[in-house]
Amino acid sequence: MNQAVRLPDSVSWHEGALVEPLAVSLHAVRLAGRVEGKNVLVIGAGAIGLGVALWCNFFGARQVIVSERDRGRARRALEFGATGLADAGADAGVQFKQLTGSTPELIFECVGTPGLLSQCLDMAAFGAEVVVVGFCMQPDTFVPALAMLKELTLKFAIGNNKSDFQFIVDMMAANRIDARPMITDVVSLEELPKTFEALRTPAGQCKVLVEPGF
C-alpha cells in the first residue's frame, strides 16, 4: 500500500523532516479524544512532548502546562502552545495546581522513564485520562487501586498513520502550524559522529537534522 505523502512546494525539506514526530504526537492527542476546554499536563519537552503541546493548543485545550528539566527545552515549549511551565525537578502536580487552580484532567507522559507513570496517576484528577507516549523498555510498576479509586483512564499510544501525515502537511502548507523552532541543529554527514557523541550529554538539543552537503 502506498504510504507516501507529497510535500507541496510551500513546505520545505526541513519542515518535512518534522512530519513524523508531529504525527506521533497528533496520533496520541487524537487517541485521547476530546481535548477542548481541558487543563492538560505534558511531561517532557522533547520532540514528541513539544508536538503534543502544539496539538493540544491547536485543538482548544484550556491550559497546557509542560513539565521539563532542561531550561532551553522548557522555554521552547512556550513556542509550541504551552501556557505555563513546571520544573520537572520539583513536584509537577503542586506546580500545576498553582498555575491553573486545578489538578490535571488529561496527562501525556512523553519521556518513558520508569516511575513516571505512577507519578502521573498520583497527580491526575478524578476521572482524568493518562496517555503514555514515552517509549519505556524497562519494567515499571504502579498501584492499580489508586487508578481505580480515581476512576482513571489509561491509554498507550504508538506510531501514526498516513492520514496523520497528510493532515500535518496540509496544516503546514496553510501556515496553520509552524514547527520549525523544534530544529535546534543542522549538521553534515561529516559532523554526524561528533554530533552523536555530543548527544550523550545533551545541552538543549531537540531535533537535529542531517543534511548531506551542508
Domains detected in the chain: 13-156 (3.40.50.720)
User: What DSSP character marks residue 150?
Assistant: T
* pLDDT band at 214; cut points 50, 70, 90: low
pLDDT at 1 over 70: no
pLDDT at 121 over 90: yes
pTM of the model: 0.92
Strand pairing category for 207-210 and 106-109: unpaired
What angle, 0 to 180 degrees and rounded to 10, lies between the N-to-C axes of helices 92-100 and 116-123? 30
Dig out the grid coordinates for 163 from the structure: 492520514
- 177 to 58, 70, 92, 200: CA distances (angstroms): 8, 24, 28, 31
Dihedral angle at the C-alpha atoms of 2, 159, 207, 91, nearest 10 degrees?
Answer: 170
* pLDDT band at 171; cut points 50, 70, 90: very high
